[in-house]
Structure 1
Amino acid sequence: MLFRQMLTTSGNVDWDNPLDDSFHSKWSAWVSSTRHLQDLSIPRMCCKFSVIEALRKEVHIFTDASKDAIAAVAFLKVWKDGNNSDVGFLMGKAKVAPAHAHTIPRLELCGAVLGTEIAEIIKEHMDLEKNDFWFYSDARRFYVYVANRVSRIRSFSDPEQWRHIATDQNPADLGTRAFDAQSLPQSTWLRGPAFLREDNLSTTLVGEHQNFAFILDDDKEARPMVEVNKTSVEGDSCDLVVSRLERFSQWTKLVRSIAIFRHILVTKNLCEHSTKRWHYCPKSLDLNSLKAAEMFILKEIQKSEFRVEIESLNKGKPIPKNSSIIDLAPFLDSNGLLRVVGRIGIAQKFVSFDVHPIIIPKKSHVATLLIRHFHDSVFHQGRRITEGKIRSSGFWIIGAKRLIASEIHGCITCRRLRGVTFTLYMFLSTFA
């Protein structure tokens, strides 16, 4: 630090130029202080207890920074048993701070990186875990000005491993300023802070980070907080069910799957065939369960397509005039399904089919499944027979004629049955 001050404040100086009077006394004092280093000795053994046989080991690393230097020092704390512990110096490191464009908070971040580098060295040589390390700094917060520095710190330590410490208790503070070499043997740089020798550090540590304001509102070094609000609109539950129905290619498989699923949800804690978990039960495919599953599917597709009409009928109001099913004069039955009124409603007891068929929207995947199902049931007959089977089964598909014709046109079985056979012709070859 003294050498850099000589070069930066004296202007253009040469190596052989004599020192200014302002630096000559400082240089002489520093040279004379180095003779005290002859009496300095660091014990080879970190602690008086064996590290290998220790009950518990912790490494406490202190970091600090000033406008002149950054420093980090590490101490090892070893527990022989629950009551006996010892603290010893491991290693310390100090660097001259960059000369320009660095504030104290940014230098504190550099000191934290230096402490992380020391921790990586100690971990590699002492075979310790990352959870055995604790970090201390007297910085009020770390300003993220370089992302790789923060990622370097987070790659080795978690925020819970960092604690705030007052400057007068931080031994790394000695590495950031001028210090008399004569006082080094008894300094906290080599002996560590007094609180580190306590058994319960959480209660003896002064200035813990829980009640500390890491970012001040009027701090120019702190990046301003920017809040971004996001509004998400989730789809309706019936739309989600209808989208899942498109995964099925057969009407019978769809009804059976819904019946099993509904049975599991209702009786998973009551069924005598299983132990309160997902299971298959033969009762899920009885006639009542299949009929309930069919009604559930039809109600969901009607809610998805005719929501406004259903709400109007529930409130006792007429359906909107621009509705696509207004000509069918729909009404809601006891199950909440939309049905066609029809002109022969009074003849219900004289006919064998349902005179109030359930309305099926033409754009739904269920309409396609029903057409395929009844087309197979009439053994791939034509459009009229397929349409009559659908109507007699109690379904009114909007635009059924065009949908049935399109489905029959793409039916592979129908193409094979109605395909034109080829006629082989025999040609007589004439030979000259």
Structure 2
Amino acid sequence: MYRQIRVNSAHTRFQKILFRNKDGELCDYELDTVTFGVNCEPFLAIRILQQLPQDIRGQYPLASDIISNFMYVDDVLAGTHTKRSAVLAIEELRLALESAGFPLRKWTSNERKLLQEVPKEHLISADFLELEEAIAPVRSLSIPRLELCGAVLLTELAALVISEMPPHVYETFYWTDSTIVLAWLSRPACTWTTFVANRVAKVEQCTDGSKWGHVRSEDNPADLASRAVSPQELKDSALWWRGPAWLHLKQEQCPSELWFHPKTELEQRPVKCHTVAVPSAVEILERFSAFDRALRVLAYVFRFVKSCRRKGVASSVELTAAGLSEVQERLIVLTQKNEFPAEYKVLSNKQPVPPASAISNLNPFLDGNGVLRARGRLQASEMLSYDEKHPIILPARCRFAELQVLFIHRISLNGGNQLMIRLIRFKFWIPKLKMMVNRTIHSCRVCVIHKKRLQTQLMGNLPRARSTFSRPFTHTGVDFAGPFDVKSYVATSDLTTEKFLVRSTSPKDSSPPRSSLSTPTSAPSLVRTSVSILPTAAVLIGSEQKRFDVRVLVDPSCPVSRIHVSLVKALNLTVTGVGNERLCTTEIRSKTSRMSKQLLMLVDEQMDPKVQDMFHNMTLADDRLFHPALVSAVLGADVYADLMLPGIIASQDDLPMAKNSKLGWILSGRGSLPKICKYSSCKGGRMFMPNS
């Protein structure tokens, strides 16, 4: 086709090629027609075909219409309603395209007589316009399903025919004589079983459900082909050639029974109803693995519920200690109602608990908030809190108790059995608590990893007198008594005098041993004066606005760092309540290094008088070692590992043990007061110890 289109002579110079002439010489040639490989070749070909119908419209009107609407590049697909018009169209189309240099080849038609005038070399051997009869599937199907397959075939045929028709807007209607198919098409595809749903969905993609109508069997031309109708009857049948009488009417003029939509339950998908029970707050705890996270999530949930019920909007985004305590109390009540329903019911009605109850021996009662507590026998105690006097009863096998035990194990820094049981029984009474604690510890990976056999102390070498053969009583020594610790307070130091009563004999001494506390000559005393030194350090504690130079006690046996309540008030620190405990955050800085650390410390309000009585007039190991002072804070096990550095000097020669830390060398233990004064020196706030 491209080679049949001539290019303007002014543009042929842009299509030059090198080719040999008859003599074999290379020459320049200009191509006069459209050439393959040029970017503009499709445009030039289509533009020629669009211009040709306009040029031949007056001479060949049928060919002009066919070329404009029924030609795709170099292929023509058209048809007519009569043989005469078809022959005329073939003749005009052949002459029109030949006048433009486009001779037609490969003719075919579903009517053989139309191609008699076409040369045989211009015909194709196969006909592609043969319609095949739709064959039912091999597997037997029900009549309604076959009718539905016919509706799908009608939809596909209509879509194919409409796509080949001139581009106009057509109003299309679809007819079927199956009321079941109409019922299937009138409802969504998801209503029916898989076979019907797939085909209904395919019909809905291509057609509008409102355009489907019902045709009765007596008005259906397709039924004539399935009946015993003679050819003469078909020839004279108006129904066969023109359809029912109402087919040519508008939709508004058609009988109303054509557009009804019946209903059916055939092939309807069974409806499956799933009931879901809303879990209670206690069952929701199964979704959490940490007690503190569960409290915070449920606190936000309860806050949202209150806001929706217009019971007040929270003033701040952060959760408060009161809000967390309220959530914990609600969870406790729900757990008790769920685990002790009979006991809770009779106590709510102010009736005694049945003797057969598992908690009857605890003499339970309900407090003002509806919490089930054990009465106990410690009501007269003035030192215990209300929770210690009347602990909250929790069942052994409930998620709340499991999370609570796991939470205590974590905040106690993987505490042992006795520590966890003591902390839990500050507030709760859980039956079989020891078993729960053991199960929690055994399932803790950290505890399993760090669990190992304790190392034993190697015994020292025996002295020569005890390891050498000698005559009996050659070397003897008897400890009559001791040591006796005699404490005396000299100046501001706690001095302890250790006295031993020893009787030594030798072969020359034949006098019998004697002992007397009042006679120094018979029992000479070996006196050593020692000082009790606590592991303390001088640090700066506070914030950027205010800091104090205080002494802190470094005690790894304390699970959580603590701070004196008076120091909290002096520094104006913010205190947050979590349950019955009060916490604050502060910064601690070393005076001997650049060490600085933010700590979360526990404020103990009942610590004030006890601390003063315990540490008053005690000698502390810092730059003011022999000056009396109070301990204002305790650095516990939570920061002990971060503070300590490699380096330790064992206790020797009446000197205390020294440990290296980020705060400097920390002295602890007992040592001789004169030697400490002799060998220790304070330089720049750092304690130096001798090597031996």
Q: 1:187 is matched with which residue? A: 238
Is there any run of 5+ residues in structure 2 with no aligned partner, and where? 1-80, 87-130, 165-170, 185-192, 459-692
Matched, 1:173 2:215: no
- Aligned AA (1:397): I
Q: CA 1:293–1:203 in 2, change beyond 3 Å: closer, same or farther? A: farther
Given the alignment of the two structures, is residue 407 of structure 1 paired with residue 440 of structure 2, yes or no? yes
Which of 140, 143, 150 is the equivalent residue of 1:114?
Answer: 150
Deviation at 1:400, TM superposition (A): 0.9
Q: CA RMSD in A?
A: 4.8
| Greater share of residues in helix | 1
Q: Which runs of 5+ in 1 are unaligned?
A: 1-39, 46-91, 216-221, 274-279, 426-432
- Larger radius of gyration, structure 1 or 2? 2
Is the Cα contact below 8 Å between 1:360 and 1:396 reproduced in 2?
yes
Preserved contact between residue 302 and residue 338 of structure 1 (Cα < 8 Å) = yes
* 3-state SS of paired residue (1:285): coil
| Distance in 1, Cα, partners of 2:157 & 2:451 | 82
Deviation at residue 259 of structure 1 after TM alignment: 0.9
Structure 1 contact 251–370 (Cα < 8 Å) conserved: yes
| Cα distance, 1:149–1:419 mapped onto 2, change above 3 Å | closer
Matched, 1:250 2:297: no
1:120 to partner: Cα distance: 1.6
* Counterpart AA for 2:295: V
1:361 aligned counterpart, secondary structure: coil
The residue type equivalent to 1:399 in the other structure is K
Give the distance between the partners of 1:110 and 1:234, measured in 2 at CA. Answer: 40
User: Looking at both structures, which has the greater relative contact order when contacts are Cα pairs under 8 Å and sequence separation is at least 6?
Assistant: 1
Name the amino acid aligned to 1:137: T
| Cα distance change on mapping 1:226 and 1:248 into 2, 3 Å | closer
Query: Which runs of structure 2 are paired with 1:54-133 in the superposition (5 Å)?
Result: 106-107=142-143, 109-127=145-163
The equivalent of 2:256 in structure 1 is 205
What pairs with 1:264-283 in structure 2 (closer than 5 Å)? 264-267=304-307, 282-283=316-317
SS of alignment partner, residue 257 of structure 2: coil
How much does 1:285 deviate? 0.5
Give the match for residue 365 of structure 1.
399
What CA distance in whole angstroms lies between the structure 2 residues aligned with 1:43 and 1:109?
43
Amino acid of the residue matched to residue 352 of structure 1?
A: S
Q: State the secondary structure of the residue aligned to 1:339.
A: strand
1:329 alignment partner in structure 2: 363
Q: 1:200 to 1:314 in 2, by over 3 A?
A: farther
Q: Cα 1:184–1:242, aligned 2, differ >3 Å: closer, same or farther?
A: farther
1:290 shift after superposition: 1.0
Counterpart contact for 1:375–1:381, Cα < 8 Å: yes
Q: Could you tell me how far apart the structure 2 residues matched to 1:321 and 1:118 are?
A: 82
Distance 1:415 1:195, change over 3 A: same
Equivalent-residue separation in structure 1 for 2:85 and 2:333 (angstroms): 82
Question: What is the Cα deviation at residue 316 of structure 1?
Answer: 4.3
- Partner of residue 327, structure 2: 293
What is the alpha-carbon distance in structure 2 between the residues aligned to residue 97 and residue 209 of structure 1? 28
Identity of aligned residues (%): 24
Distance in 2 of aligned mates of 1:127 and 1:281:
67
The superposition leaves residues 303-332 of structure 1 with CA deviations (integer Å, 9 ceiling, x where unpaired) of 332233323333444445443323223233
When normalised by structure 1's length, the TM-score is 0.56
State the Cα deviation string for residues 4-32 of structure 1 (Å, max 9, x = none).
xxxxxxxxxxxxxxxxxxxxxxxxxxxxx
The amino acid across from 1:371 in the alignment is: V
Q: Distance in 2 between matches of 1:44 and 1:261?
A: 81
Does residue 397 in structure 1 map to residue 435 in structure 2? no
Q: CA deviation at 1:399?
A: 1.4
TM-score using structure 2 length: 0.37
Q: Deviations over 1:32-64 (max 9, x none)?
A: xxxxxxxx959999xxxxxxxxxxxxxxxxxxx
Over 3 Å counting, the alpha-carbon distance change for 1:281 and 1:200 in structure 2 is farther
CA contact (8 A) 2:298 2:327 kept: yes
Q: Distance in 2 between matches of 1:422 and 1:364?
A: 39
